[in-house]
Amino acid sequence: MEAVINEIKKPENLVYGKTKVLTDNVMHYCPGCSHGVVHKVLSEIIEEMDIQDQTIGVAPVGCSVLIYNYIDIDWQEAAHGRAPALATAMKRLRPDRYIFTYQGDGDLAAIGTAETIHACNRGENIVIIFINNGIYGMTGGQMAPTTIEGMKSSTCPFGREPVHDGNPLKMTELLAQLPGTAYVTRQSVHTAGAVRKTKKAIRKAFEKQKENKGTSVVEVVSTCNSGWKMTPVEANKWMEENMFPFYPLGDIKDV
Amino acid sequence: MSELRLMKGNEAIAEAAIRCGADGYFGYPITPQSEVMETLMALKPWETTGMVVLQAESEVASINMLYGGAGCGKRVMTSSSSPGISLMQEGLSYMAGAELPCLVVNVVRGGPGLGTIQPAQSDYFQAVKGGGHGDYKLIVLAPSSVQEMADFVELAFDLAFKYRNPAMILSDGMIGQMMEKVELKPQKKRWTNEDIDEMHPWATTGKKKDRERNIITSVELDSEKHEEANKRIQAKYKELQEKEVRYEAIDTDDAEYLLMAYGSSARISLAAKEILRAKGLKVGLLRPITLFPFPVKQLQNLTGQLKGILSVEMSSGQMVEDIRLAVEGKVRVEHFGRYGGVVHSPEEVANALEQKLTGGK
Ligand SMILES: Cc1ncc(C[n+]2csc(CCOP(=O)(O)OP(=O)(O)O)c2C)c(N)n1
Ligand code: SF4
């Protein structure tokens, strides 16, 4: 038996291993939350590109505020929405480093709209990872700029009503129109296939930075099962049926 | 080589920044300080020293660019005037919390609101008491000449890095706009990335294999630990108070009356002192150069000999509160100042001292 196990454990038989860039800290995310999956994908890319010592991340205010506990690189934790301003200066002062921000939809598309648009419009050579779960997770499920019509949240408990609450914002389409963006895409992590596509997209975004192409934005349409008050399985299904029609997946811009 | 020039205070800030080896300037235009960025853009230091200069989309963005740059161990600065500085308060609070050094120049104009573009000193409270949320302070330097505008740039960076805390040059529209002779120091080298790795091991420069990851943050959700972080910051302010007070005392040895003023008001008060001395009144001038740390001990040492203190400020009376706290009721303390953009004359100041402290004539 032991011989069999040792045979299985041989490096050449290894089919899966946790990247060392991901720390062993226990994540605080709710079960089923998309944040953890994106963290893993991001860490794998940093390992595969061998850029752990050359990458500096900017953390947002939102559920992923403590991302620096999970990904073993240097980090700066920004004020709510300001990550692209930090990243702008970081990249300009350290052009030899890979700089990326990791932001939720409230952070990126509400309080940080100006910083996001202007960093993208200037074509700052950074990567922006945009977790769009259509809600404010951290503060307990309030309406986000991305909450779709009819979707319930604690501040639109009967469903978003555009006449009263305003319209949901397609930030990624908006950013794709700016001359400074090089690569703009929308992905998800609800299936194994989708995770693989997201990984490819984030990898491509980092490659664009290597080639000095300008800003890359990778939106990941995500679930917040706690905020949405659904089980993880229900949340994935709800996302496919309701979010994807409004936020269609795929590349929006690639120059 | 050092160099003598006739220039505006705002231009001196820009020249001094390049010459002391600053790494980055990020700002947004506002009167009366736009010459700072205009001078930098005309000098194009990115082609000479490698200094980055960028016009940001707002003061909110500027201060957060400083956060990012400072987090990488770089010497970064911005300049603005009152309404813009109000927008930076969030970022300053975060930088103090994350223990990040930077330089913010406030060329103060009259408020509140959009106020006026004329000089004022009405942002004293905001500068020395924290300004944003939480228990923190800025290191505040108050230049009263174009020469000091230039000299305090490097001094502010040095103090900011020594204490890992944001520093502010609290100037006003008069010092910013007026021209004076100034000696500019020779060009210094910027720190290399290797210098930064060695001098500032806390900076985010890319995680080396032989060290833990560096995290620049102001958040700590465990309140016991957060109290400890706060205590560490407070200990720095105590040390600053003990070691870094700077001031100028003129004719205070035999003084019975004291004028206290900083920046433009100190220049005017110096002329007022001459008027009063000519009248036979024993008047001295104490000019705080650091507003935080405030020259508390230096003031207390004088209280025994004083009959009265007049705080002269282009505000409705802000520094006067710190003077009263320092002298603990032992001396009569009054305030005089024009405000809302009006600058007082030496005669007005001299009259005010006579009226308020000597009972008039
Ligand atoms: C200036 C400021 N306003 C409000 C907040 C409170 N706040 C914290 S996180 C958050 C929203 C987070 O939502 P999102 O960016 O979508 O991230 P998620 O938690 O869903 O991942 C808000 C409003 C704050 N921290 N700072
Ligand atoms: S509240 Fe939502 S976004 Fe936050 S950890 Fe839970 S599931 Fe994730």
Tokens of A239: 């996302």
Sheet of A215-221, strand order: A250-254, A181-188, A215-221, A127-132, A98-104, A55-59, A74-77, B215-216
Chain A (6-65) residues lying within 8 Å, Cβ to Cβ, of chain B: 52-56, 58-59, 65
Q: Do residues B252 and B175 share a domain?
A: no
Picking from B65, B66, B213, the nearest residue to A74 by CB comes out as B213
How many domains would you assign to chain B? 2
- Residue A10 belongs to some domain of the structure: no
The phi-psi region of residue A241 (left if phi > 0; otherwise alpha if psi is between -120 and 50; otherwise beta) is: alpha
Residue at B73: amino acid letter: G
Asked if residue B185 lies in contact with residue B19, where contact means CB atoms within 8 angstroms, the answer is: yes
The ligand 2 atom nearest the CA atom of A131: 3
Asked if residue B289 lies in contact with residue B156, where contact means CB atoms within 8 angstroms, the answer is: no
Measure CA B2 to chain center: 24
pLDDT score recorded for residue A10: 87
pLDDT score recorded for residue A8: 84
Asked if residue B35 lies in contact with residue B10, where contact means CB atoms within 8 angstroms, the answer is: yes
Q: Do residues B140 and B257 share a domain?
A: no
Mean pLDDT of A162-172: 98
- Residue A155 belongs to some domain of the structure: yes
pLDDT digit string, tens, across residues B127-156 = 999 999 999 999 999 999 999 999 999 999
Mean pLDDT of B11-29: 98
- Residue B231 belongs to some domain of the structure: no
Domain that holds residue A246: 18-254
Query: Which residue do the tokens 């003061």 mark?
Result: B59
pLDDT band at B360; cut points 50, 70, 90: low
A147, A178, A141, A176: which is closest to A160 by C-alpha? A147
Q: Does B229 touch chain A (CB under 8 A)?
A: no
Residue A144 has pLDDT above 60, yes or no: yes
Q: Do residues B18 and B167 share a domain?
A: yes
Q: Which ligand neighbours the alpha carbon of A30 most closely?
A: 2
Q: Does A118 touch chain B (CB under 8 A)?
A: yes
Q: Which residues make Cβ contacts (< 8 Å) with residue A139, sequence separation at least 6? A: none
Q: Could you give the 3-state DSSP secondary structure of residue B236? A: helix
Q: How far apart are CA A202 and CA A215, in angstroms?
A: 12
Please report which helix (H) or strand (E) contains residue B171, including its range. Answer: strand B166-172
Q: Do residues B53 and B171 share a domain?
A: yes
Asked if residue B65 lies in contact with residue B102, where contact means CB atoms within 8 angstroms, the answer is: no
pLDDT score recorded for residue A13: 87
Establish whether this prediction's ipTM goes over 0.90.
Answer: yes
pTM of the model: 0.97
Torsion angle of the four alpha carbons A183, A188, A194, A196, in this order, in degrees rounded to the nearest 10:
50
Distances (CA, A) of A146 to A34, A202, B75: 16, 21, 38
Asked if residue B199 lies in contact with residue B73, where contact means CB atoms within 8 angstroms, the answer is: yes
Q: Do residues B251 and B186 share a domain?
A: no
pLDDT digit string, tens, across residues A191-225 = 999 999 999 999 999 999 999 999 999 999 999 99
- Residue A198 belongs to some domain of the structure: yes
pLDDT score recorded for residue A9: 83
Which DSSP symbol is given to B247? E
The ligand 2 atom nearest the CA atom of A28: 5
Residue A18 has pLDDT above 70, yes or no: yes
How many domains would you assign to chain A? 1
Return the CATH number at B110.
3.40.50.970
Q: Work out the mean pLDDT of chain B and round it to a whole number.
A: 97
- Residue A200 belongs to some domain of the structure: yes
Q: Do residues B134 and B31 share a domain?
A: yes
Q: Where are the alpha helices (DSSP H) in A107-238?
A: 113-122, 162-165, 171-176, 192-210, 225-228, 232-238
Domain that holds residue B290: 247-357
Q: Which residues make Cβ contacts (< 8 Å) with residue A221, sequence separation at least 6? A: A132, A133, A186, A187, A188, A239, A243, A244, A247, A249
Mean pLDDT of B70-75: 98
- Residue A3 belongs to some domain of the structure: no
Torsion angle of the four alpha carbons A13, A14, A16, A19, in this order, in degrees rounded to the nearest 10:
-160
- Residue B201 belongs to some domain of the structure: no
Q: Do residues B63 and B179 share a domain?
A: yes
Q: Which ligand neighbours the alpha carbon of A131 most closely?
A: 1
Q: Do residues B255 and B348 share a domain?
A: yes
Residue at B342: amino acid letter: V
pLDDT score recorded for residue B72: 98
- Residue B234 belongs to some domain of the structure: no
- Residue A8 belongs to some domain of the structure: no
Residue A27 has pLDDT above 80, yes or no: yes
CA angle in degrees (0–180, nearest 5) for A239-A106-A73:
95
- Residue B205 belongs to some domain of the structure: no
- Residue B232 belongs to some domain of the structure: no
- Residue B207 belongs to some domain of the structure: no
Q: Do residues B20 and B151 share a domain?
A: yes
Taking the CA of residue A220 and the nearest CA in chain B, the distance in Å comes to 25
Q: Could you give the 3-state DSSP secondary structure of residue A145? A: coil
Q: Does A107 touch chain B (CB under 8 A)?
A: no
Picking from B60, B66, B219, the nearest residue to A77 by CB comes out as B219
Handedness of CA B266, B272, B278, B280 (dihedral sign): negative
> Domain boundary at B131, B165, B193, which?
B193
- Residue B228 belongs to some domain of the structure: no
Return the CATH number at B350.
3.40.50.920
pLDDT digit string, tens, across residues B249-267 = 999 999 999 999 999 999 9
pLDDT score recorded for residue A237: 97
Q: B222 contacts in A (CB within 8 Å)?
A: none
Q: How far apart are CA B90 and CA A78, in angstroms?
A: 11
Picking from A52, A77, A89, the nearest residue to B216 by CB comes out as A77
**Residue A29 Cβ contacting ligand 2 at under 6 Å:** yes
Residue B330 has pLDDT above 70, yes or no: yes
Provide DSSP, A4-69. HHHHHHSGGG------TTB-SPPP-SPTT-HHHHHHHHHHHHHHHTT-GGGEEEEE-SSGGGGGGG
Return the CATH number at A241.
3.40.50.970
Q: Do residues B53 and B165 share a domain?
A: yes
| Residues whose beta carbon lies within 6 Å of some atom of ligand 1 | A 61-64, 80, 104-107, 131, 133, 135-139, 144, 224
- Residue B230 belongs to some domain of the structure: no
B350, B155, B354, B309: which is closest to B298 by C-alpha? B309
